[in-house]
Chains A and B, each alone.
Chain A
């Protein structure tokens, strides 16, 4: 089944304890992105990647790091989490070519709910 898989789905941690949220897709998509969703602020893009070793900042990149060493994986790293990073996080992926059927259709993971105490 074609899907985007995020882990963990739920996590409670403490301020300053480094954590990584993994994202993996099995559709050979070039594009991958991370978002956070907060009540009253909607869904905001954190980082995105256009291909292996190519990443760029979204609208709210502060406090986050990403890497894209393999095409299928795009982990989100919180080096020193703070309570304001408590949120629902989503990973998504898509094809890049306009010529392909389904191109640019964003496919989302199920979400990771993170609480930082």
Chain B
């Protein structure tokens, strides 16, 4: 059974800092890995999807990497802003089946 772990569970940084969120998974037989953002009481917004054949994807200040052999993905956020404060979730996707981590709650202080 696929297990997904996100470390740290919570992170607080000052505005402007670069930061890395971690996601690890136990079964490397995946199709894709997707990163989401969730604001309190809201739905999930897709940030980046990395297909199993790719090693990284970039969107603006966000960069996500994937290392299937080690079962790890990282989400790098450059020059963090208070508006980046949210919970970040990673999901391992294998066809219709998906497994989510518990998320990292990020607080960016002005």
Interface residues of A (CB under 8 A from B): 31, 33, 35, 42-45, 48-50, 56, 58-59, 90, 92, 96, 98, 103-111
Contact = CB atoms under 8 A, between A and B. Distances in A.
Those 5 A-B pairs whose CB atoms lie nearest each other, nearest first: A48-B96, A43-B100, A42-B102, A108-B44, A110-B43
A31 B94 CA distance: 11
Contact of B96 (A56, A103, A110): A56
Contacts of A56: 96-97
Contacts, number: 63
A66 to B, nearest CB: 12
A31 B34 contact: no
Interface of B: 31-32, 34, 36, 42-46, 49, 51, 89, 91, 93, 95-103
A43 B98 CA distance: 10
Given A56-B97, A59-B99, 7 more contacts: A43-B91, A45-B99, A48-B98, A50-B95, A104-B32, A104-B34, A106-B93
Given A31-B96, A33-B98, A43-B100, A104 B49 contact: yes
Contact of B43 (A45, A58, A90, A96): A90
Given A44-B100, A45-B97, A106-B98, A98 B43 contact: no
B31 A98 contact: yes
Give chain B's interface secondary structure class.
strand
Contacts of B102: 42
A58 B99 CA distance: 9
Contact of A104 (B42, B44, B51): B51
B46 A107 contact: yes
B43 to A, nearest CB: 5
A58 B93 CA distance: 12
A103 B48 CA distance: 12
Nearest to A51: B96
Nearest to A45: B98
